[in-house]
Structure formats: structure tokens, C-alpha cells
């Protein structure tokens, strides 16, 4: 079966519908699926629930889908970098569910591993625990959190082979590997594409079973949010 698609339009063809749930990898603007986000914008699909640690910034990343009002609801841990997000939220045009970052990651991991729910200490005694079942284990209180899956996961990897085996680069890895496991369909955009057999099997981060479609682009914008440097000595 061929997993390689010629461009983002082809890679997402037949997968998008209004009201769907999409997971998008990335932390800040690092490791975001920028080509696939741009294609979702052009497709005009709307009423989306988007699961992503952050919501991009004004004019980049998921910020693009906020400008076009395609997102109905965000499930995130931190959205502080985005003025448009605040405006839409305060006007009631955008729903928001905050999850602690580790709870979000673990919900996605569980969702991808067929685990419907798990107990965690994170959020006990806070607003996050409201309405959730609690239980004592070994004298400590835990809250029940549900696994999380999506109709579609869009992710960014550094390198893929034609089987869909993926390698990520540095901190651009972040949520991408877990989200790959939790999409009913997972589409990966990659910077390098090689024939199967060209990646050492011991070095593969995400096995190809989790990746249904791959699209390769040579050039990515890769914006930096906080450019911090030191002077050469």
C-alpha cells in the first residue's frame, strides 16, 4: 500500500469534514505540521475541535485557523501567546478546555493505547478535579481522567521512510509521537523521505503502523517564538 502523497491537498483528501476532531502536534511553533494546517485552512472545513498543547500565535500555526473561525473548541494546556485567541474566547466565539500538560499527553497516550481512563494525582484539589471521580490508592487521592482520541492526527516529523516509520528531531518531537498513535487516521508531513530500509530500525521513534499517509516537503517556515542568544566570547 502506498502511503506517500504528492502534496498536502492530496494527503488530506477525503479526510476532512465539518465538526470533526483533529489532533495537531507541536509545542509552541516547534514541530507543528505547518503544511497540513495551511491545507486545512484552504479546505474551509469548520466547526473543528482541535487538540493541541498550544494554539499557535497570531498569523502562524493554529492561529491561522482561528483567523478564519474554523475552530469551535480547543483542548490545550497553554494558549498565552495568542491575542486573537483571547479576543475570540472573551467574546464567546471559541470554547476552551484546559488540561494540565501532562494530563493532556497521558490522555492522548492512553487514547492511542486503548486505555479508556487512568488515575492521576495532577489537579487534585483544583478546578481540574471538578466533576471527576476520585479514588484513594495507598493513602493518596487521585482523579480519573479519560483517554483521548481524534478523527485525524496531523503531525510533523524530521524523517520518514516509505513504510511510515518516523524519526523526530530534538524538541520538535514533543506531542507528535503520542498523537500519531491516537488519530483514527494519522497524516505526517516530513522534511526527509527515504526508501524503506534506509533508517536503522533501532533508531525509529514512531513505527509505521501508526502512520497512514505521508507528505514530503523540502522547505518549512519553522518560525522561532523567542529568539534568545548569547554573545560569542
Partner 1 sequence: MPWTRDEMAQRAALELKDGFYVNLGIGIPTLVSNYIPSGIIVQLQSENGMLAMGPFPYDGDEDPDLINAGKQTITELPTTSYFDSAQSFGMVRGGHIDLSILGAMQVAENGDLANWMIPGRMVKGMGGAMDLVAGVKRVVVLMEHTAKDEPKLLRRCTLPLTGAGVVDMVITDLGVFQIDRRGSGMTLLELAPEVSLQEIRGKTEADYALGAGLA
The secondary element (H helix, E strand) that includes residue 31 is none
Instruction: Compute the distance between CA of residue 166 and CA of residue 190 in angstroms, rounded to an integer.
Output: 9
**Cell numbers that stand for 214 in this block:** 505521508
* Smallest distance, partner 1 to C-beta of residue 92, A: 13
Residue 2 or 226 having the CB closest to partner 1: 226
Q: Considering the complex, what minimum distance in angstroms separates the CB of residue 43 from partner 1?
A: 26
Spatial CB neighbours of 13, under 8 Å, sequence gap ≥ 6: none
Of 71 and 172, CB closest to partner 1:
172
- Pairing verdict, β 134-137 and 150-161: unpaired
All three cell numbers of 38, joined, read 495551511
Residues 204-223: x where in contact with partner 1 by CB under 8 A, - otherwise, as a string: -x----------------xx
Q: Which stretch binds partner 1 (CB under 8 A): 42-50, 98-106, 194-202, 208-216?
A: 98-106
For the bound state, the minimum distance from the C-beta of residue 192 to partner 1, rounded and expressed in Å, comes to 13
SS3 of 100-150: the string is: CHHHHHHHHHHHHCCCCEEEECCCCCCHHHCCCCEEEECCEEEEEEECCCE
Q: Site mask, partner 1, residues 162-191, x = CB under 8 A?
A: ------xxxxxxxxxxx-------------
Residue 147 contacts partner 1 per CB under 8 A: no
Q: Which residues in this chain contact partner 1 in the complex, by CB under 8 A? A: 27-31, 53, 76-81, 86, 89-90, 98, 100-106, 108-109, 120-128, 158, 168-178, 205, 222-232
Amino acid at each position: 500500500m502506498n502511503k506517500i502523497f504528492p502534496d498536502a491537498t492530496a494527503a488530506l483528501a477525503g479526510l476532512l469534514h465539518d465538526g470533526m476532531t483533529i489532533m495537531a502536534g507541536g509545542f509552541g511553533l516547534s514541530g507543528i505540521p505547518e503544511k497540513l494546517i495551511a491545507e486545512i485552512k484552504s479546505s474551509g472545513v469548520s466547526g473543528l475541535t482541535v487538540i493541541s498543547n498550544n494554539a499557535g500565535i497570531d498569523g502562524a500555526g493554529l492561529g491561522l485557523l482561528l483567523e478564519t473561525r474554523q475552530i469551535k473548541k480547543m483542548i490545550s494546556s497553554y494558549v498565552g501567546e495568542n491575542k486573537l485567541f483571547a479576543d475570540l474566547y472573551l467574546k464567546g466565539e471559541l470554547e476552551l478546555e484546559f488540561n494540565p500538560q501532562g494530563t493532556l499527553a497521558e490522555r492522548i497516550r492512553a487514547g492511542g493505547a486503548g486505555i479508556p481512563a487512568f488515575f492521576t494525582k495532577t489537579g487534585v484539589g483544583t478546578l481540574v478535579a471538578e466533576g471527576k471521580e476520585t479514588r484513594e490508592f495507598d493513602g493518596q487521592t487521585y482523579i480519573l481522567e479519560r483517554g483521548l482520541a481524534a478523527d485525524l492526527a496531523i503531525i510533523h516529523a524530521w524523517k520518514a521512510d516509505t513504510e511510515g516509520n518516523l524519526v523526530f528531531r530534538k524538541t520538535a518531537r514533543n506531542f507528535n509521537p503520542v498523537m500519531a498513535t491516537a488519530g483514527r487516521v494519522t497524516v505526517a508531513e516530513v522534511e526527509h523521505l527515504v526508501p524503506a530500509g534506509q533508517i536503522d530500525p533501532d533508531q525509529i521513534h514512531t513505527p509505521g503502523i501508526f502512520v497512514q499517509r505521508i507528505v514530503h516537503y523540502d522547505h518549512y517556515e519553522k518560525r522561532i517564538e523567542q529568539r534568545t542568544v548569547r554573545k560569542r566570547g
